[in-house]
Amino acid sequence: MDARNGGHGRLSGASPGVGQVWSTERGGRCHQPSPLHTLPASLSAPSSQPLVTPGRWLLFTRRPLGGARGGAVEPFSNMSVYGPVVKIHPVVLSSICDSYERRNEGASRVIGTLLGTIDKHSIEVTNCFSVPHNESEDEVAVDMEFAKNMYELHKRVSPTEIIVGWYATGFDITEHSVLIHEYYSREASNPIHLTIDTSLQSGKMNIRAYVSAQMGVPGRTVGVMFTPLSVKYIYFDTERIGVDLLQRTRVVPSRSKGLTSDLSQVAGSAARIQDMLSTVLEYIEDVLAGKVAADNSVGRFLTDLVNKVPTISPEDFENMLNSNINDLLMVTYLANLTQAQISLNEKLVLL
């Protein structure tokens, strides 16, 4: 991510139709302070303390259109949804919530970069990282040097992940969000903007994804419209384990639950498999009895599922199980023997 100079404009909230529209009358500039110079006086924070450290921050300023202050635009409930589907992994939501809980004192929200992959019909968000920023009434400063370094580190681990957009906690798309989104539009092609309502204003954590589009007349852009996208939640098999563990804490008053033993996990998995098999058998019996109409797609899925189950005789299965148990008992015995040897050696040293 390159912290390059870019434009920002005078902003005011508006809601002329479908989507969220912000006026972006051109004429302002995005100032990137030099390491050898402090911020211009016209862009410095109103307090005696500087808003940002010169040299590594990208500073955006907001000037209300016509002297009036613009406000956030509430999303419309009847907005049409089009465009690619945004697929979000649980680790992304967990990272965002964790960064919000660890935010600096006095910070109202956190922002960050979304990483993932893009195909023809969907955008898959697989990772993210928070970006330090400071906001005042008229200014927002983003640490783009930190964002650049973090992205370079992520590319070493996951070279296939690219920048797909950015996120912000909160219920609304604010004036500052429009300026930040303009920067990410230069770092990624048509980036998405993800909002997470960590304040639970509607009684739940609303998660929305938007894509922006320029509005205006030929030869002049007068606004930006944010249109919502469909959001789906997907997971890898390893992520499912963590999600299942978090689900168990919902019924615990302390909201915490210790790790279970391997035997308990196997027993729980076997119980869940038995419940699912009972559901499948009930469906098959209803189809054979004529109570439920047959679905060919479900039949093909069940056939593939049965074919994937390995065929093994009861005798071979028992031998494999006993062999694994013997190996486990041997490892346990060696571990206890080693522990006893260490304890004995410590006492001999003290003599």
Sign of CA pseudo-dihedral 178, 184, 186, 188: negative
Say what the pLDDT of residue 289 is: 92
State which residues form the domain around 329. Answer: 319-351
Do residue 40 and residue 187 come from a single domain?
Answer: yes
Say what the pLDDT of residue 344 is: 87
Do residue 89 and residue 16 come from a single domain?
Answer: yes
Is the residue at 174 inside a domain?
yes
Do residue 178 and residue 326 come from a single domain?
Answer: no
Do residue 76 and residue 186 come from a single domain?
Answer: yes
Do residue 203 and residue 151 come from a single domain?
Answer: yes
Is the residue at 177 inside a domain?
yes
Range name among 65-79, 182-196, 240-254, 287-301 with the lowest pLDDT average: 65-79
Query: Which has the higher per-residue pLDDT, 61 or 143?
Result: 143
Residue linked to tokens 């050696």: 345
Mean per-residue pLDDT for 259-282? 86
Query: Which has the higher per-residue pLDDT, 124 or 178?
Result: 124
Most confident of 10-14, 40-44, 108-112: 108-112
Q: φ, ψ for residue 158 (rounded to 5)? A: -130, 85
* CB within 8 Å of 227: residues ≥ 6 apart: 18, 19, 79, 80, 81, 82, 83, 210, 211, 212, 213
Query: CA angle, corner 264, sides to 262 and 268, nearest 5?
Result: 120
Is the residue at 23 inside a domain?
yes
The alpha carbon torsion through 34, 168, 25, 21 (nearest 10 deg) reads 170
Is the residue at 277 inside a domain?
yes
Do residue 295 and residue 350 come from a single domain?
Answer: no
Say what the pLDDT of residue 117 is: 93
Is the residue at 19 inside a domain?
yes
Quick check: 278 pLDDT over 90?
yes
Say what the pLDDT of residue 114 is: 94
Residue environment code for 130-147, b if the CB has 16+ CB neighbours within 10 A, otherwise e: bbbbbbeebbbbbbbbbb
Last residue within a domain, chosen from 189, 214, 233: 233
Query: CA angle, corner 80, sides to 74 and 82, nearest 5?
Result: 120
Rounded-to-integer distance, Cα 114 and Cα 181, Å: 12
User: At 222, which helix (H) or strand (E)?
Assistant: strand 220-229
Say what the pLDDT of residue 128 is: 94
Say what the pLDDT of residue 221 is: 67
The percent of residues in the chain predicted with pLDDT above 70, rounded, is: 76
Is the residue at 66 inside a domain?
yes
Is the residue at 188 inside a domain?
yes
Say what the pLDDT of residue 44 is: 30
Please report, for the domain that includes residue 224, its CATH number. 3.40.140.10
Name the band, by pLDDT with cuts 50, 70 and 90, for residue 93. very high
Do residue 22 and residue 146 come from a single domain?
Answer: yes
Quick check: 254 pLDDT over 80?
no
Mean per-residue pLDDT for 318-326? 85
